[in-house]
C-alpha cells in the first residue's frame, strides 16, 4: 500500500527504532511551547476568524464558518407558525442522542420527570460513539481529584472555569463506578483491578478504557439503559430547528423537524437540555475531521439565537493523530491510546522530534511545524503531508500481542487498506476533533437563558483552551447527569400559564437588520454541505 518513497522513509524509522527505545524523548522549553502554538496552531491563523456582529457575544472572535451559522436566520417563519398547536408535552426535553443526552435522560427520569429525547439521526449517532482511547478518573491510590484538577487546568492553558473543573474531577470516580454498575466493560487485570494508562498531559495513569472503542462501549450501555426505561420517549431523525420561549422569557421547548418529511412538531417542555455535541463537520480552515456527520453546531446556533452567552468559541481542538494516509480514511481518528501505549512520532528521517504525550494543542502544532517549516514531513500521492506514528514499537516495549489486544479497531481499520499496524508505522497529521468552547454553563448545566440547560461538547468552559484526552467522555457523563438532575428539579417547580412566543426571533431579526446582515444563510444546517466544500 505504501509508495516506494514512503517505504524508503519507513526504512529509516525502522533503523532508528532500537536506538529510540532507550533514548530520552525530545522536550520543549515552556517558551518554545508558546512559540510553536502561536506560529503553527490553527487557532492562531488570524484571517480564519472574525468578530460576531449580533448576539450576546457580539465583538467576540470565532472561526468564520461558525460565525456564519451563529449569525444566520432561523428556518422558522415565525409570524406564520401556530404556537397554539402543541404536538408533544413533556417535563424535560433533551435535544441530542449522544452520551450527554443519554445521561441527562437517565438522571432526569430517575428524578421523576417525563422525558422526551429527540435526536437528529439515530440514537447514538454522536461523537461519544466515536471516542476511542478512554475516560479519565482519579480513582487510584496514587492519584486524586486535586491532581486531576491541576492537569485539566494546565492542559486548558489555565483559562478553564474552576467551578466546572471542580465538578468534572470530583464526580469522575463516581461516574466510572456508575458506568460499571450499568454494564460498561472496562479493561481490568485478572484480579479485577481497573487498568489505567497515560494520555497527553496527564501526570498520573488515569485513563480507563475498553480496548480502543471506549466510547462505543459506553454509548452501547447508556443507550440500552435509556431504551429499557419506559418513561423516556425517544424520537429519532427529529432535529430541533428552533427553540420556543414563553412570555416569561423562559425556554419552553423546541420545534422538531421530521428529517424525512420536513414536517414540524412543537414539543412543549418545562425545561430543555441541549446536548447536540460539536461542530467538526463545519470543517474549520478546511481541515478533515474525526466527527460524526451530525456535528454541525446546531445547539450553539439555537441557544445563541435565544440569547445564551457562549464561551471559548475562538478555540478548537485539532487531534494530532488523524489518519493522513490512505486517502479513504483521511482525518479519521487514530486514538491517542497508541501514543499512551508507547508509540513515538518520527519525521521523514526516522527521528523523534516531539515528546509523544504533549498536550494536543502543542503536539499538533509540532507536527505542523515539522511538515511546513522544517520540511521533514512525508508527502502522500495526493499531496497530503504527515509524520510517522511508530506503532510497532508498542509490541517491542510491552510484549508481542499488545497491539492486537489493545488496539483491535485500529488494526482492523488499517488492515482494510493492506497496512499492518503491528509491523508498519502509519502516517498521521492533525485533524479537527473537538470544540473546546460552547454555551457557557454553571456546574448544573444552567445557561443564561432560564430553563435552558446545556451538557457535553455543546457547552463551554470546563476545558479552557484545550481539552485533555479522556475528559470528553467524562464531561458528557458528569454534566449530562448534572443537567438531567437540575432540569428535572426545575421542571417540578415550573408554574404553568405562560404563553409560548417567538419574540426572541423577532428580536434576532431586528438585531441582524441593525447590523446590516441580509445574507441568506439559514441555520442550524443539520448536515454538512459537501457540495460547497467539494469533499
Instruction: Write out the catalytic residue numbers.
Output: 319, 339
- Whichever of 134 and 253 has its CB closer to ligand MEZ, that residue is 134
Q: Of 127-135, 221-229, 276-284, 349-357, which part binds ligand MEZ (CB under 6 A)?
A: 127-135
Nearest CA to 157 out of 464, 443, 368, 373 is that of: 464
> What is the spatial distance between Cα 118 and Cα 126, in angstroms, rounded to a whole number?
13
The answer for residues whose C-beta is within 8 angstroms of residue 383's C-beta and 6 or more apart is: none
The answer for residues whose C-beta is within 8 angstroms of residue 126's C-beta and 6 or more apart is: 96, 97, 98, 99, 101, 219, 277, 292, 294
Nearest CA to 98 out of 243, 220, 280 is that of: 220
Of residues 239 through 298, those in contact with ligand MEZ by CB under 6 A are none
> What is the spatial distance between Cα 407 and Cα 421, in angstroms, rounded to a whole number?
9
- Whichever of 9 and 413 has its CB closer to ligand MEZ, that residue is 413
Out of 6, 131, 255, 478, which residue is the one contacting ligand MEZ (CB under 6 A)? 131
Q: What is the DSSP string of 275-313?
A: -----GGG-GGG--BSS-TT-S-HHHHHHHHTT--EEST
Count of residues near ligand MEZ by CB under 6 A: 11
Instruction: Please list the alpha-helical segments (H only) found in 41-121.
Output: 64-70, 99-110
Q: Of 126-134, 247-255, 440-448, 477-485, which part binds ligand MEZ (CB under 6 A)?
A: 126-134
Shortest distance, position 135 Cβ to ligand MEZ, whole Å: 7
Of residues 449 through 478, those in contact with ligand MEZ by CB under 6 A are 469-470, 472
Nearest CA to 167 out of 492, 461, 533 is that of: 461
Q: Of 335-343, 404-412, 413-421, 477-485, which part binds ligand MEZ (CB under 6 A)?
A: 335-343
- Whichever of 43 and 242 has its CB closer to ligand MEZ, that residue is 43
Q: Of 218-226, 334-342, 377-385, 404-412, which part binds ligand MEZ (CB under 6 A)?
A: 334-342
Q: Does 336 bind ligand MEZ (CB under 6 A)?
A: yes
- Whichever of 10 and 130 has its CB closer to ligand MEZ, that residue is 130
> What is the spatial distance between Cα 400 and Cα 412, in angstroms, rounded to a whole number?
17
Residue of minimal CB distance from ligand MEZ?
133
CA atoms within 13 A on the CB side of 196: 22
- Whichever of 213 and 508 has its CB closer to ligand MEZ, that residue is 213
> What is the spatial distance between Cα 384 and Cα 396, in angstroms, rounded to a whole number?
29
* Phi/psi at 330 (5° precision): -55, 125
Q: Does 331 bind ligand MEZ (CB under 6 A)?
A: no
239 Cα distance to chain centroid: 19
> Whose grid coordinates read 468564520?
64
Shortest distance, position 200 Cβ to ligand MEZ, whole Å: 9
CA-to-CA dists, residue 246 to 91, 299, 309, angstroms: 15, 19, 19
CA-to-CA dists, residue 343 to 197, 339, 346, angstroms: 13, 5, 10
Contacts 24+ apart (CB under 8 A), 508-512: 508/54, 508/55, 508/74, 508/305, 509/73, 511/54, 511/55, 512/54, 512/71, 512/73
Shortest distance, position 226 Cβ to ligand MEZ, whole Å: 22
Out of 134, 201, 294, 443, which residue is the one contacting ligand MEZ (CB under 6 A)? 134
Q: Does 335 bind ligand MEZ (CB under 6 A)?
A: yes
Shortest distance, position 488 Cβ to ligand MEZ, whole Å: 28
Shortest distance, position 256 Cβ to ligand MEZ, whole Å: 29
Out of 132, 347, 359, 384, which residue is the one contacting ligand MEZ (CB under 6 A)? 132
> What is the spatial distance between Cα 130 and Cα 420, in angstroms, rounded to a whole number?
22
Torsion of CA 255, 258, 263, 266, to 10 degrees: -20
Of residues 364 through 403, those in contact with ligand MEZ by CB under 6 A are none
Give the footprint of ligand MEZ on this chain (CB under 6 A): 131-134, 333, 335-337, 469-470, 472
Amino acid at each position: 500500500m505504501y509508495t516506494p518513497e514512503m517505504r524508503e522513509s519507513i526504512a529509516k524509522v525502522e533503523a532508528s527504532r532500537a536506538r529510540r527505545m532507550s533514548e530520552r524523548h525530545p522536550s520543549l522549553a515552556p517558551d518554545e511551547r508558546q512559540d510553536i502554538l502561536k506560529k503553527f496552531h490553527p487557532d492562531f491563523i488570524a484571517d480564519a476568524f472574525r468578530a460576531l456582529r449580533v448576539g450576546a457575544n457580539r465583538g467576540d472572535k470565532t472561526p468564520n464558518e461558525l460565525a456564519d451559522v451563529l449569525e444566520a436566520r432561523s428556518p422558522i417563519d415565525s409570524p406564520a407558525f401556530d404556537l397554539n398547536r402543541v404536538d408533544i408535552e413533556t417535563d424535560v426535553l433533551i435535544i441530542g442522542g449522544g452520551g450527554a443526552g443519554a445521561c441527562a435522560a437517565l438522571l432526569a427520569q430517575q428524578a421523576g420527570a417525563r422525558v422526551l429525547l429527540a435526536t437528529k439521526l439515530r440514537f447514538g449517532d454522536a461523537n461519544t460513539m466515536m471516542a476511542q482511547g478512554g475516560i479519565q478518573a482519579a480513582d487510584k491510590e496514587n492519584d486524586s481529584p486535586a491532581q486531576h484538577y491541576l492537569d485539566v487546568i494546565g492542559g486548558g492553558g489555565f483559562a478553564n472555569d474552576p467551578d466546572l473543573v471542580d465538578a468534572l474531577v470530583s464526580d469522575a470516580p463516581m461516574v466510572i463506578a456508575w458506568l460499571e454498575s450499568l454494564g460498561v466493560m472496562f479493561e481490568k487485570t485478572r484480579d479485577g483491578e481497573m487498568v489505567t494508562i497515560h494520555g497527553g498531559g496527564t501526570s498520573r495513569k488515569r485513563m480507563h478504557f475498553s480496548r480502543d472503542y471506549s466510547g462505543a462501549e459506553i454509548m452501547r450501555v447508556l443507550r440500552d439503559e435509556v431504551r429499557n426505561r419506559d418513561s423516556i420517549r425517544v424520537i429519532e431523525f427529529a432535529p430541533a430547528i428552533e427553540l420556543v420561549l414563553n412570555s416569561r422569557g423562559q425556554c419552553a421547548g423546541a420545534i422538531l423537524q421530521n428529517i424525512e418529511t420536513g414536517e414540524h412538531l412543537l414539543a412543549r417542555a418545562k425545561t430543555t437540555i441541549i446536548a447536540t455535541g460539536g461542530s467538526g463537520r463545519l470543517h474549520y480552515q478546511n481541515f478533515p475531521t474525526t466527527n460524526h456527520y451530525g456535528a454541525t453546531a446546531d445547539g450553539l446556533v439555537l441557544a445563541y439565537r435565544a440569547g445564551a452567552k457562549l464561551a471559548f468559541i475562538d478555540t478548537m481542538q485539532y487531534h494530532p493523530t488523524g489518519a493522513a494516509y490512505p486517502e479513504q480514511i483521511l482525518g479519521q481518528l487514530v486514538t491517542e491510546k497508541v501514543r499512551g501505549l508507547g508509540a513515538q512520532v518520527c519525521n521523514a528521517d526516522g527521528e523523534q522530534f516531539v515528546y509523544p504525550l504533549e498536550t494536543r494543542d502543542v503536539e499538533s502544532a509540532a507536527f505542523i511545524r515539522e511538515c511546513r517549516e522544517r520540511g521533514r514531513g512525508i508527502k502522500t500521492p495526493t499531496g497530503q503531508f504527515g509524520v510517522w506514528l511508530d506503532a510497532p514499537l508498542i509490541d517491542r516495549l510491552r510484549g508481542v500481542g499488545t497491539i492486537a489486544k489493545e488496539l483491535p479497531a485500529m488494526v482492523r481499520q488499517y488492515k482494510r487498506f493492506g497496512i499492518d499496524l503491528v509491523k508498519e508505522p502509519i502516517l498521521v497529521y492533525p485533524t479537527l476533533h473537538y470544540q473546546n468552547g460552547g454555551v457557557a454553563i454553571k456546574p448544573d448545566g444552567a445557561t443564561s437563558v432560564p430553563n435552558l440547560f446545556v451538557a457535553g461538547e455543546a457547552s463551554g468552559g470546563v476545558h479552557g483552551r484545550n481539552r485533555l484526552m479522556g475528559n470528553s467522555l467524562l464531561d458528557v457523563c458528569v454534566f449530562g447527569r448534572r443537567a438531567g438532575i437540575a432540569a428535572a428539579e426545575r421542571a417540578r417547580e415550573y408554574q404553568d400559564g405562560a404563553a409560548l412566543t417567538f419574540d426572541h426571533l423577532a428580536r434576532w431579526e431586528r438585531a441582524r437588520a441593525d447590523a446590516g446582515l441580509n445574507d441568506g444563510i439559514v441555520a442550524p444546517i443539520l448536515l454538512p454541505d459537501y457540495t460547497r466544500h467539494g469533499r
